[in-house]
Structure 1
Amino acid sequence: MKPKPKRVATKKILELLAEMYPDAHCELDFRNPFELLIATILSAQSTDRQVNIVTKGLFERYPQPENYIDLTEEELAKEIRGLGLYRNKSRNILQTCKILTSQYGGRVPESRAALEALPGVGRKTANVVLSNAFDVPALAVDTHVLRVSNRLALADSENPLEVEKQITRRVPRKEWTDTHHRIIWHGRRVCAARNPKCEVCDLLPYCWYGKNHMEPLTKSSHGK
């Protein structure tokens, strides 16, 4: 594999992503900050599609933090059993709902520090809630953002926090949230972990991974 370039056409990549995914948005279903918080906690090691199936009934039965207070971990675990790590998520959600009810009047706090103090909430979840529920510019780094940003050379790290820092240094603050969504959409629709569709990707001329991935395939086909 060839080394990554020292310079990358960040502006052109961002322009193309905007053209490719003009409607990119959070694909978790939610109606308020609380639902987004719970859905994002549930999304760890689960797809948004799986989470949306589970939360459709969950949010109808338990729409507010106080509705969870009397549930046992086993009862909530049954509600979310179709998702990965459901037992840990059940415990964290119940503890979080108790804190929201006792300390915040049932509302989701709007500060990063307060969000990250909640059980089951790390920096990625806090960034998702801040940007999508409260319109605070933030760039959450999930597996898609980690993979795609490294392939495009927008970042050069396997550490999510370092990737976030590198991307936010390149991208204007007002574009952090949209860039987050566009990169995720690209990762889900084109730049898959396995068998990325480099041959149909509009970003190929600016993608160090794509150009180096396609080159050996082209040589192999010509060699037959």
Structure 2
Amino acid sequence: MDDAVSRLPRKAPPALHGTAREPRRARRMSAAQAASFIQALAEANPEPKPELNYSNPFTLLVAVVLSAQTTDAAVNKATETLFPAAPDAAAMAALGAEGIAPHIRRIGLWQAKAKNVAALAQMLLERHGGQVPRDREALEALPGVGRKTANVVLNVAFGENTMAVDTHIFRLGNRTGLAPGDTPREVEDALVKRCPPELLRDAHHWLILHGRYVCKARRPECWRCVAREWCNYRDKVSGPTAA
């Protein structure tokens, strides 16, 4: 996952919208198209789950913070040793940045992340009794936590109908016409409005997995897309090329 996209300027760089061969954004889907698109993803994956490993709201929060600008697989490898050593805020604060660092050296930005995780653990102890707050403002006040991370925690840990927009969902929203927007917040707001209410809680998972494994950045695998008939992407790829 990647919270860096939430700090993009108003006009996002062209690379976030696609390559030179593809339009900056597709024509906006109709409300009926959007509902059918999301429904198709839902039917193909009835019980979506996050790919980050966690055991409680605290370890979920830490895993999402660590996942910025790196892969979930890399984070899961790091937390295999980190979480047994520090399963809660008190233990993580006791480790401190120096104790956290050896566990996460192989992931991107590990030095800054070690400092953030130690600091957020300490802040949880001081302000929230060591518990992860169920409050957006309080979450976003924690070191290393932006809107996307707060949305993931509110959604996964507390069951709220939030939409966490990372680079995959931002790209997918523009490429398909599902929710075109210049900023992650514009895409988020459009998705919340256009998603059938009963599907909103899981929609983040369907969309991020679809963007990660099918509607890929460099070459979308349109021939595998279960929602292809409702997608407004102009340059659909008909099949894999020979190696």
Distance 1:81 1:33, change over 3 A: same
Q: 1:41 and 2:65 equivalent?
A: yes
Give distance in 2, aligned partners of 1:81 and 1:200: 36
The match for 2:114 among 49, 72, 90 is 90
Q: Any gaps of 5 or more consecutive residues in structure 2? A: 1-21
The match for 1:28 among 47, 52, 65 is 52
CA contact (8 A) 1:137 1:174 kept: no
Letter in 1 for 2:185: L
Number of residues of Structure 1 aligned to a counterpart in Structure 2: 216
TM-score, normalised to structure 2, is: 0.83
Give distance in 2, aligned partners of 1:152 and 1:103: 42
Give distance in 2, aligned partners of 1:181 and 1:165: 16
Bigger CA drift: 26-35 or 194-203? Answer: 194-203
* 1:72, distance to aligned residue in structure 2 (A): 4.0
Distance 1:174 1:116, change over 3 A: farther
Partner SS state of residue 46, structure 2: coil
Q: Which residue of 2 aligns with 1:131?
A: 155
Letter in 1 for 2:39: E
Give distance in 2, aligned partners of 1:54 and 1:17: 30
Q: 1:204 and 2:228 equivalent?
A: yes
* 1:6, distance to aligned residue in structure 2 (A): 4.4
For CA contacts below 8 A with separation 6 or more, give which structure has more relative contact order: 2
> 1:121-200 counterparts in 2 under 5 A?
121-200=145-224
Bigger CA drift: 52-61 or 66-75? Answer: 66-75
Query: Larger radius of gyration, structure 1 or 2?
Result: 1
Give distance in 2, aligned partners of 1:134 and 1:72: 27
Q: Any gaps of 5 or more consecutive residues in structure 1? A: 219-224
Give distance in 2, aligned partners of 1:180 and 1:68: 28
- Aligned-pair Cα RMSD in Å: 2.0
For each residue in 1:140-173, what CA deviation from the matched residue of structure 2 results, as whole angstroms up to 9, or x when unmatched? Answer: 0011111112222111124111110111111134
Indicate the structure with greater helix content: 1
For each residue in 1:20-47, what CA deviation from the matched residue of structure 2 results, as whole angstroms up to 9, or x when unmatched? Answer: 2222121111111000000000000111
